[in-house]
Amino acid sequence: MPALLSLLHDPKYRLAFRSIALVLFAGVVIAGSIPGARAEVGLYVTGLVLHGLTYAFLAILWFLGSSGNTAARALKAVLAIALMGALDELVQSFLPYRSGDIRDWMIDVTAATIASLLLAACLPKAAAVPQQ
C-alpha cells in the first residue's frame, strides 16, 4: 500500500494522469456524438449514473494529476471538470439528435466535487501511514 501511495504523489506521473483524463474525455465526446449511441447506452444505465461515474472518474484522474495541497488539487479538479462538462454539453447542443442540458453539467460538477472532496479527505491520512 505505501508503494501505491508514493505512486499517487509522484510528480512525474502527474502529466500522465492529466493526459489520460483528456484522452478519456475526448472519447466521451466522440462516443456521445455518434448517432444513436446514447440511446443504446440508456437501455442499461441512466444519464445520472453515466454522467456521475464518468465525471467523478475524470475528476479523480485530474486530482491525481494536479500539484499543490489537497485543497488546491480538489479545486483544480472541479474546475477542470466544470470546463469539460460545459464543453461536452456545448458539443451536444450543435448535434441535431442531441441536446445540451444544464442539469447534466450540474451532475458533472457535483460528481467532481464529491470525488475531489473524498480524495482530499482521504489522501492526507493515507499519506501519513508510515512506510515499512
Beta-carbon neighbour count of residue 82 at 10 Å?
18
Closest listed residue to residue 83, CA positions, set 57, 64, 109, 103: 109
Closest listed residue to residue 60, CA positions, set 126, 114, 132: 114
- Cα 52 to Cα 33: distance, rounded to the nearest angstrom: 19
Q: What 8-state DSSP symbol labels residue 65?
A: T
The predicted pLDDT at position 98 comes to 78
Tell me the average confidence (pLDDT) per consecutive run of 10 residues in the chain, 132 residues long: 62 91 95 78 79 96 93 96 95 83 93 96 61 42
Q: Structure pTM?
A: 0.85
The predicted pLDDT at position 33 comes to 84
- CB-neighbour burial class of residue 117 (10 A; exposed 0-12, middle 13-18, buried 19+): middle
DSSP H or E stretch at residue 71: helix 70-93
E strand intervals along the chain: none
Q: What 8-state DSSP symbol labels residue 44?
A: T
Estimate to the nearest angstrom the gap between the alpha carbon of 113 and the chain centroid: 10
